Structure 1
Amino acid sequence: MDTDDNYWKRVAAGVRAELARQRKPTLDLVPLLGLNRNAVYRRVRGEIPFDLAQIQTVADYLGVTVASFTESTAPREVA
């Protein structure tokens, strides 16, 4: 079972992966989220969670769904 902490770490990993895939710098999120650089980097590193509005804003900016952040990094179940 996933804890809240693990879920948000997977979300952060998904954000990092999508930023890298689109070749967009993390710094692009600073004005978008209205946070300082350190606050954005802490969220992207998974040290503190995004709030729901922030993660939706990031998803909209990247043109993906919020769910896609966890789908690409979710562990696969073995049958």
Structure 2
Amino acid sequence: MGHDLYMNILTGMFLFWNGARVLTYVPTIVRLVCAPTDARSHSLLTWLCWVLSNGTFALMLLERNDGVPEAMFWLNALFYM
């Protein structure tokens, strides 16, 4: 797989998962506002979207900096783990 194809796939995943993350905010906010909440107020799908979004963002940051990790990379990578 060439680097250009890899970057296209990574960019597509980044856009998809960040879009999905934004969409998962809506039901979560509605549930938090309308009902008594606890840890079950966040669905597994919501957490999965957030984790995948942060993971792809960390990879994008690493690629954009020629493989040199920076503070934003570590912030997203550690949240990903």
TM range (shorter): 0.3 to 0.5
TM-score normalised according to structure 2 size: 0.32
| Structure (1 or 2) with the larger CA radius of gyration | 2
Name the structure where helix makes up a greater proportion of residues. 2
